[in-house]
């Protein structure tokens, strides 16, 4: 029953590569040879090429016709761009999700925030962070919007894991609580503006 998504080999390879790119295991700019990857996964290169197309659409790789595909590199400007897009779209999602937010959902989001506080490494913190955003935004019931946000979130996470930002501080988790408080108080505008600022935190220059 856990086979509706990564059923095809292409989907499985695509997901595996995405994970590595986000985690930074595959470095920006590095070449992805289709035969090499096919061999590693014990498959032919056809599903590998199909996986490439999806990754390309997600902005995780760049492909030059007949010259191969490489892991997408990103600049500070790219990071800021993604952060601003997230701010715009997540605010939109929140405005539509708000009427459907139940106390149970808000409690779950608070629990996710606590998990983030207890996180020992960046990976665990990011998992909790993603969970928080997913919980409060999913009820908007706009699938295309949520898919776009998920892609942008991946790009943000890449940056977070890239070492540019070795530190991850408390302010974001304070933001989470401020968002929850505002939502509980019915102050949607406040929640939205905190969310917008919060999302762009990752786009700030480190060090």
Q: Which residues bind a second copy (CB under 8 A)?
A: 4, 7-8, 10-11, 46, 49-50, 53-54, 56-59, 65-66, 78, 81-82, 84-85, 88-89, 91-92, 142-145, 148
CA distances from 76 to 47, 156, 162, 203 (A): 33, 11, 12, 8
The DSSP output letter for 32 is E
The three-state secondary structure class of 64 is strand
Q: If binding is defined by CB under 7 A, does position 162 make contact with DNA?
A: no
Helices 143-161, 122-137: inter-axial angle, 10-degree rounding: 160
The entry of a second copy, DNA, none near residue 150 (CB within 5 to 8 angstroms by kind) is: none
Q: Which is nearer to DNA, 45 or 80 (by Cβ)? A: 45
* Cα–Cα distance for residue pair 22/122, rounded to 1 Å: 12
The one among 25, 30, 44, 73 contacting DNA by CB under 7 A: 44
CB atoms under 10 Å from CB of 141, counted, come to 11
Lay out the site mask for DNA across 51-70 (x = CB under 7 A, - = otherwise). ------------x-xxxxx-
For DNA, the binding residues (CB under 7 A) are 8-10, 31-35, 38, 42-47, 49-50, 63, 65-69
């Amino acid at each position: 029953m856990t086979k509706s998504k990564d059923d095809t080999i292409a989907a499985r390879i695509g997901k595996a590569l995405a994970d590595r790119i986000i985690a930074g295991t595959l470095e920006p700019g590095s070449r992805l040879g289709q035969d090499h990857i096919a061999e590693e996964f014990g498959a032919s290169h056809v599903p590998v090429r199909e996986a490439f197309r999806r990754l390309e659409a997600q902005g995780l790789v760049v492909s030059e016709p007949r010259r191969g595909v490489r892991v997408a590199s990103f600049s500070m400007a790219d990071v800021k761009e993604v952060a601003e897009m997230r701010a715009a779209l997540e605010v939109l999602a929140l405005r539509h999700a708000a009427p459907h937010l139940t106390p149970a959902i808000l409690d779950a989001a608070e629990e996710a925030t606590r998990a983030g506080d207890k996180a020992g490494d960046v990976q665990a913190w990011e998992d909790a962070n993603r969970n928080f955003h997913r919980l409060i935004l999913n009820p908007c019931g706009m699938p295309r919007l949520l898919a776009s946000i998920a892609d942008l979130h991946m790009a943000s996470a890449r940056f977070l894991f890239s070492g540019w930002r070795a530190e991850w501080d408390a302010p974001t988790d304070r933001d989470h609580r401020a968002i929850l408080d505002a939502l509980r108080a019915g102050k949607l505008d406040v929640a939205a503006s905190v969310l917008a600022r919060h999302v762009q935190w990752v786009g700030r220059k480190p060090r």
